[in-house]
Amino acid sequence: MEATAGSSGAPRSALGRWRRRETFAAWAFLLPSLVPFVIFVAGPLLAAVALSFFRYDILTPPEFAGLDNFRHLFADDRILAVYRNTVVYVAGTVGLETVLALLLAVATHRQIPGVLRYVFRTAYFFPVLTSLAAVSIVWGYLYHTNFGVINYYLGTIGGPQIRWLTSSAWAMPALVFLGVWKSLGFSYILFVAGLQSIPRHLYEAAAIDGAGRLSTFANITLPMLSPTMFFAVVIALINGFQIFDSPYIMTQGGPGDSTRTVAMYLQEQGFRFFDMGYAATVSLTLFLVILVLTLIQFRFGRSWVHYG
């Protein structure tokens, strides 16, 4: 990499040579991630857009279909149903999760014996790390109508015997409860970090003014925590819209289509019916949703730079 007479007008100084070497080195360091990025991220994204204009069943060559897939999309009753299901799931999990995580974070943000603090953090956070597929299997048994642990305890307090996974009224709530249990700890950890970054002098000032617990919470904690909450909610929304494992394992989308989510629907279209063009079209709608959510976060959320 000797700097030959600079046709690009680069100075022939030592500094110029160094700059060129730096640029060369930078691209060399980037190559190992740039290649898989192009092949497995950027390329496939463009290919998915292209596929949405084709009919392709994998076995026979793709056939140009114009806007057929999009016409299908707008006339498809099932796409409406799966989006409605997904939105219900997202609203339920994100709402419950945020409220519960906030309560938890506030309740543990005080002087607590070290052992208890450790126990709480472990208990509430551990489900986050486990495989959704594995815990869906366990919960499937817990939800069993006749032999399930949950209905047993409902029975002992005189509650109804709910057909959790086999009635269209309860299957979605059952998935929501599992989802909240599974990811509650994630929002909780974010909120704890958010609480720790609130300046102490604000609380000191409130104490001097004689503010009580509730008014301190409403006037200091909540507003100071709002960027964190906003961020946690957007992340939960993005994850929620992509839910697949638990409905696939626990209800197979049923009864009927009552728990089929967008991700399940496109998996069915693409990999069961091998309608790749339509599956790609459906996937693009999901991309659009995530894109809008991310842009909202980007536009309105403050960046995440709290170092507790």
Partner 1 sequence: MATTTPIGQLERERAGPAARDVVRPTRWREHAFDWGVNLLLLAGGVLMLAPFVWAFSTSFRLGRESFSLPPQWLPTDWRLDNYRAVLDALPFFRFVFNSFKVAALITLLQVVTCSTAAFAFARLRFRGRDALFFVFLSSLMIPQYVTIIPIFIIVRRLNLLDSHWALILPSAFSAFGIFLLRQYFLTIPRDLEDAARIDGAGFFEIYRRIMLPLVAPALVTLTIFSFNYHWNEFFRPLIFLTTWEQMTLPLGLTVLRGYLGTGNTAAVMAGVTMAITPVLLVFLLFQRYLIEGITLTGLKE
308 binds partner 1 (CB under 8 A): yes
Beta bridge partners of 20: none
* Candidates 2-10, 70-78, 117-125, 252-260; binding stretch for partner 1 (CB under 8 A): 117-125
How far is residue 205's CA from residue 210's CA, in Å, rounded to a whole number?
A: 9
DSSP 32-87: HHHHHHIIIIIHHHHHHHHHTTEE--SSSPPEE-TTHHHHHHHH-HHHHHHHHHHH
How far is residue 185's CA from residue 193's CA, in Å, rounded to a whole number?
A: 12
Min dist CB 66 to partner 1, Å, is 19
How far is residue 175's CA from residue 179's CA, in Å, rounded to a whole number?
A: 6
Q: Name the amino acid, one letter, at 106.
A: V
How far is residue 200's CA from residue 110's CA, in Å, rounded to a whole number?
A: 13
Min dist CB 49 to partner 1, Å, is 9
Residues from 189 through 218 that contact partner 1 (CB under 8 A): 189-190, 193, 200, 203-204, 206-207, 211-213, 216
Of the candidates 76, 88, 109, 257, which one interacts with partner 1 according to CB under 8 A? 109
Going residue by residue from 288 to 307, which x/- string records binding to partner 1, judged by CB under 8 A?
--xx-xx---------x-xx
Nearer to partner 1 by Cβ, of 169 and 229: the residue is 229
Residue 258 near residue 171, CB atoms below 8 Å: yes
Q: Which residue carries 């967008």 as its tokens?
A: 262
127 binds partner 1 (CB under 8 A): yes
Of the candidates 19, 72, 73, 87, which one interacts with partner 1 according to CB under 8 A? 19
Residues from 251 through 280 that contact partner 1 (CB under 8 A): 262-263, 266-267, 270-271, 276, 279-280
How far is residue 65's CA from residue 84's CA, in Å, rounded to a whole number?
A: 28
Nearer to partner 1 by Cβ, of 168 and 216: the residue is 216
Nearer to partner 1 by Cβ, of 258 and 269: the residue is 269
124 binds partner 1 (CB under 8 A): yes
Min dist CB 77 to partner 1, Å, is 21
Beta bridge partners of 55: 63
Going residue by residue from 35 to 74, which x/- string records binding to partner 1, judged by CB under 8 A?
xxx-xxxxxxx-xx--x------x----------------
Nearer to partner 1 by Cβ, of 167 and 196: the residue is 196
How far is residue 198's CA from residue 144's CA, in Å, rounded to a whole number?
A: 45
